[in-house]
Structure 1
Amino acid sequence: MAGRITVGLPGHFTPPADRVARTAQRAEAEGYDATWYPCHLMAWHPDSLWTPDLTPIAKVQPNPHAQFDPFQAMAVAGAATTSIKVGVGVTDTLRRHPAMLALSALTAQHFAGGRVILGLGSGERLNVSPYGLEWNRPTARLAEALEVVRLLWRADGPVDFDGDFFRLRDAVLGLDPLDGQEPPIWLAAHGPRMLELVGRQGDGWLPTKSSPEQYADRLAAIRRSAADAGRDPDAITPSMLGYVLCAPDEETLERMCEHPLVRMLCVLLPEGVYRDHGVTPPFTGGSGFHSFIPTTVDRAAALRVVEAIPSRMVRYAAFCGDAAQIADQVRAYADAGLRDIVLWNVTGLADPALTGYSYKVLREVREMLTA
Structure 2
Amino acid sequence: MPVRIGYTMMTEQAGPLELVAHLVGAERAGFDFSVISDHSFPWLDSQGHAPYAWSVLGAAAQATSRIPLMTYVTCPTFRYHPAVVAQKAATLQILSRGRFRLGLGSGENLNEHVVGAGWPAAHVRLEMLEEAVGIIRRLFGGGYVSHHGAHYDVENAKLWDLPEEPPPIGVAVSGPRSCALAGRYADLVIATEADAELLRRFDAQGGAGKPRVGQLPVCYDPDRDAAVARAHDQFRWALGGWGVNSELPGPAGFEQASQHTRPEDVAASIPCGDDVDAFVEAVRPYAQAGFTEVALVQIGGDRQAAFLDWAEAKLLPALGRL
TM-score of Structure 1 vs Structure 2, range by shorter chain = 0.7 to 0.9
Counterpart position of 1:167: 153
Q: Unaligned stretches of 5+ in structure 2?
A: none
The one-letter code of the counterpart of 2:7 is L
Query: What is the match of residue 116 of structure 2?
Result: 132
- Contact kept, 8 Å, 1:122 with 1:142, in 2: the verdict is yes
The counterpart of 2:8, out of the listed 7, 10, 13, is 10
Deviation of the 1:127 alpha carbon: 1.0
The alpha-carbon distance between structure 1 residues 197 and 130, as it changes in their structure 2 partners (threshold 3 A), is same
The answer to whether structure 1 residue 184 and structure 2 residue 168 are counterparts is yes
**1:245-256 correspondence runs (5 A):** 245-246=219-220
Q: Is 1:291–2:248 an aligned residue pair?
A: yes
| Aligned residue among 325, 335, 339 for 2:292 | 339
**Which residue identity lines up with residue 98 of structure 1 in the other structure?**
P
Instruction: Give 2:96's aligned amino acid.
Output: A
**Separation in structure 2 between the aligned mates of residue 246 and residue 16 of structure 1, nearest angstrom:** 20
Q: CA deviation at 1:23?
A: 2.7
Structure 2 residue identity aligned to 1:5 = V
**Residue 207 of structure 1, CA deviation:** 1.4
Structure 1 residue 266: Cα displacement = 2.9
Q: Tell me: CA distance 1:250–1:104, structure 2 relative to 1, closer, same or farther (3 Å).
A: closer
Query: Quick one: distance in 1 between partners of 2:101 and 2:265?
Result: 30
Structure 1 stretch 137-146 or stretch 328-337: which is displaced more? 328-337
Q: Which residue of 2 aligns with 1:358?
A: 307
Post-superposition CA distance 1:139-166 (Å, at most 9, x none): 110111000001011033x222232112
Larger Rg: 1
TM value normalised by structure 2: 0.87
Instruction: Note the C-alpha offset of 1:135.
Output: 1.9
Structure 1 unaligned residues grouped into runs of 5+: 51-62, 227-231, 271-285
Aligned to 1:367: 317
SS in 2 for 1:82: coil
Q: Which amino acid aligns with 2:42?
A: A
1:36 aligns with 2:35: yes
After superposition, where does 1:238-317 map in structure 2 within 5 Å?
238-246=212-220, 259-267=232-240, 269-270=241-242, 287-294=244-251, 296=252, 302=255, 305-311=257-263, 313-315=265-267, 317=269
Give the number of aligned pairs: 314
Correspondence for 2:69: 86
Within the candidate set 105, 111, 117, 1:121 is matched to 105
> How far does residue 197 in structure 1 lie from its aligned partner after superposition?
1.1
Structure 1 residues 167 and 251, CA gap change in structure 2 (3 angstroms): closer
**1 CA distance for matches of 2:264 and 2:170?**
29
Structure 1 residue 242: deviation in Å? 1.3
* Identical-pair percentage: 25
Report which stretch shifted further, 114-123 or 29-38. Answer: 29-38
Instruction: Report the counterpart of residue 155 of structure 1 in structure 2.
Output: 142
Structure 1 range deviating more: 216-225 or 167-176: 167-176
After TM superposition, the structure 1 stretch with the greater mean CA deviation from structure 2, 307-316 or 320-329, is 307-316
